[in-house]
Structure 1
Amino acid sequence: MTLASWVFEPNIDLPEHSHPHEQITTVIEGEFELTIDGEPSRMEAGDVAVITSNAVHSGRSITRCRVIDAFHPVREDLR
């Protein structure tokens, strides 16, 4: 498993992508829009989303926000 902690300033766009890792995204503070397979979802502190392996997804910070992602299996590119 890989854990990653991110802080995004408002209006940051994360481009559409996919990867073979399962991902669990948790918003710790602020508001974030997560789009999975074309379905946008507005998330706020305490919200959790599961992104399945190879699902196409993107994101956008609505406010300054802090997000934690958990990936499985290990993401070698984030070591």
Structure 2
Amino acid sequence: MDFELWEYPEPGIKRKLYKPGEKLMIMKVVFEEGAEGASHSHPHEQLTYCLKGDMEFTIKGKVKRIQEGEVLTIPPHAVHGAKALAPSIILDVFTPLREDLLSDTSSV
């Protein structure tokens, strides 16, 4: 995987993975206003930090809004999705490693 490249997983969204540690990884995600990350789940714990903007997350059916400087956590296996209420940048931290993302080059 080339950690210098941006991926475009969904319309209005781009993401960049950074070289992971042994059990922890980080990903920067940039959202255009109105862009939505489809609902999904994974067996990894996730911490999301909002660098810029205004995001609305739905986690296990509950809506949580975060803005610049705020953090939310997503437990393993929780169904979650996101919508940008304004142009936004977030950092997603995962543990253990998201091997599915590290090996996926289909959206590059």
TM-score, normalised on structure 1? 0.95
**Alignment-derived partner of residue 60 in structure 2:** 37
Larger radius of gyration: 2
Which structure has more RCO (C-alpha within 8 Å, separation ≥ 6)?
1
**Alignment-derived partner of residue 70 in structure 1:** 93
Work out the CA distance in 1 between the residues paired with 2:81 and 2:48.
12
Which of 30, 36, 42 is the matching residue for 1:7?
30
Q: In the TM superposition, what is the alpha-carbon distance from 1:76 to its structure 2 partner?
A: 1.4
For residues 11-26 of structure 1, the aligned pairs below 5 Å read 11-26=34-49
Answer yes or no: is 1:57 the counterpart of 2:46.
no
Which of 9, 14, 28 is the matching residue for 2:51?
28
Amino acid at match of 1:48: V
Amino acid at match of 2:69: G
1:16-60 Cα offsets, whole Å, 9 max, x none, are 110000000010000000111011111100110010000110100
Q: Which has the higher strand share?
A: 1
Q: Where in structure 2 are there 5+ consecutive unaligned residues?
A: 1-23, 103-108
**Alignment-derived partner of residue 21 in structure 2:** none
Q: Where in structure 1 are there 5+ consecutive unaligned residues?
A: none
CA RMSD of aligned residues (A): 0.7
Q: In the TM superposition, what is the alpha-carbon distance from 1:78 to its structure 2 partner?
A: 2.5
Identity percentage over the alignment? 38
TM-score, normalised on structure 2? 0.71
What is the aligned residue count? 79
Work out the CA distance in 2 between the residues paired with 1:42 and 1:53.
19
